[in-house]
Amino acid sequence: MPLTDKQIAKLSQLQDQNIGVKPEEGCILSGLASKVDAGHAIVEIGTYKGKSTCWIAMGSKMGHGAHIYAIDLWDTPSGDPGYEELRCKRTYADPKTKQTFIQQIQDMGVDDLITPIQGFSHKVASTWDKPVGMLFIDGHHAYKSCKLDYDSWSKYIVPGGYLVFHDNNMKGVKQVIAELPKDQWGELTTRRFTTYTVRLSNSDQEGG
C-alpha cells in the first residue's frame, strides 16, 4: 500500500537542512521498508534529524511493522578532527539535532517503531544479535567509513534482504558499491542519489 499524497507532503516538510532524502528517495525507502518482515530489523546508519527515519517508519507501518534501529553519533565526539569540523558545521553534533529527531518521530506518530541508538555504528554492530531485513547506510561518506559500515553490518542481512546506500554520487560510497561481491548480491537498482540491492539467497538468486 503506497503512501498517500498527504503523507508524502507531510514527510517532505520535515526538517533536514536540505541535506537529507528527497521525496523520490523517501518513497523508495518507504516502499522497501514496507516489504520487510515483522521479525526482521531495519537498521539506519546516519539518522541526523530523522527525516529519512520517518520515511522508513511510515513504510514499515503500512507494511509488516518491522522495527527500526536508528544509529547516529549525534553529539558524541568522533575523534576525527576533519569529520568533527564537518559535523559541527552541518549541526550534526549540535545537541538540538537529536532533540529535533525525537520531536519529529513523535510528531509523525512513528516513535513506537523506532529505537534510537547513539554511538559508533561499528561498535553497535559488534554486539548485534538480530536478523536485518533492510540496512540503510548513510553515515560518513568517506570510503574507509562507508566500507566499515558495510563490513560491520552486511553479515546480518537475511537472504533476500535489502542493502541500501544513500549519496551514491559520492566517491567513497561509489567505490564501496563497485566492490560489492557479485556472489552475494543481486543486480543494483539505482535512482538519483540512492542505490539498493537485495542479498542472494543460499539457493536462488533474487532480483534487485
Q: How confident is the model at residue 205 (pLDDT cuts 50, 70, 90)?
A: very low
- Phi, psi at 52, each rounded to 5°: -65, -35
Please tell me the predicted confidence (pLDDT) of residue 84.
Answer: 86
Please tell me the predicted confidence (pLDDT) of residue 83.
Answer: 82
Q: What is the mean pLDDT of the segment spanning 73-94?
A: 86
Q: What is the mean pLDDT of the segment spanning 111-139?
A: 97
Is pLDDT of 208 > 70? Answer: no
Q: How confident is the model at residue 207 (pLDDT cuts 50, 70, 90)?
A: very low
Please tell me the predicted confidence (pLDDT) of residue 7.
Answer: 81
Please tell me the predicted confidence (pLDDT) of residue 16.
Answer: 67
Where is pLDDT greater, at 66 or 183? 66
Please tell me the predicted confidence (pLDDT) of residue 203.
Answer: 39
Q: What percentage of residues in the chain have a pLDDT greater than 70? A: 93
Q: How confident is the model at residue 98 (pLDDT cuts 50, 70, 90)?
A: very high
Please tell me the predicted confidence (pLDDT) of residue 10.
Answer: 78
pLDDT digits (tens, 9 = 90+) for 36-72: 999 999 999 999 999 999 999 999 999 999 999 999 9
Please tell me the predicted confidence (pLDDT) of residue 60.
Answer: 98
pLDDT digits (tens, 9 = 90+) for 4-46: 888 887 778 776 655 668 888 899 999 999 999 999 999 999 9
Annotated domain spans of the chain? 5-14+21-198
Q: Take residue 17 and report the three cell numbers written for it.
A: 537542512
Topology classification of domain 5-14+21-198: Rossmann fold (3.40.50)
